[in-house]
Structure 1
Amino acid sequence: MIINEAEFNILTLLASRDDVKWTWYNLDRAMSQRKMEGVGNVARLVRNLYEAGLVNITPSMPAGMDHYQISAQGMKYLQALRQKSSAQK
């Protein structure tokens, strides 16, 4: 499985803070503040990650403000990407 840079940014943010109830809005804001690729497309990108098993989505109210969390599979995938990146340096 291959993810793009924007999806990698989302996984990294989700993994960085497990005390945050991540929504599309606060992910978009965090990415914008860090000048990361993917701003404006967060919901679609998270859906792709969810379909790949890398992210869990918990429905929440109000509608459209679901909570996102990196899955165990997503954490393993992110760690593998980081190890691969370290080995290439």
Structure 2
Amino acid sequence: MVNHTELNILKLLASRDDVNWTWYNLDRAMSIKKMDGIDNVARLVENLSKAGLVDIVPSGTSSGMDYYCVSAQATSY
């Protein structure tokens, strides 16, 4: 079951497909929009990934921050 905060994260991820979303820039965007869940982004996205709603893609960079994107399954959500 997806809670309100997780649903807002999905909406934020879907709002911009030109952004390589990481936990950091997702957290910053949530902070700017005064959304709940700030500082829990990695855990919340992990829950969404386990539910099949978010794909976690290795960035392949030295920062080690993975990219998050909405999965095909989530588009019907």
TM-score interval for Structure 1 and Structure 2 normalised by the shorter chain: over 0.9
1:40 counterpart letter in structure 2: D
Quick one: distance in 2 between partners of 1:9 and 1:28? 12
Quick one: distance in 1 between partners of 2:14 and 2:75? 7
* Root-mean-square deviation over aligned CA pairs: 0.7
TM (norm. structure 2) is 0.93
2:42 counterpart letter in structure 1: A
**Count of residues in Structure 1 that have an aligned counterpart in Structure 2:** 75
Q: Secondary structure at the match of 2:39?
A: coil
1:71 counterpart letter in structure 2: S
Identity %: 65
Answer with 1 or 2: which has the greater Rg.
1
Q: Secondary structure at the match of 1:69?
A: strand
Quick one: distance in 2 between partners of 1:16 and 1:73? 16
Aligned match of 1:45 = 44
Q: Secondary structure at the match of 1:68?
A: strand
Tell me the CA shift for residue 3 of structure 1: 0.8
Structure 2 alignment gaps of length 5 or more: none
Moved over 6 A (4+): none
Tell me the CA shift for residue 28 of structure 1: 0.4
Quick one: distance in 2 between partners of 1:9 and 1:40? 15
The answer to whether residue 70 in structure 2 is matched with residue 70 in structure 1 is yes
Tell me the CA shift for residue 5 of structure 1: 1.4
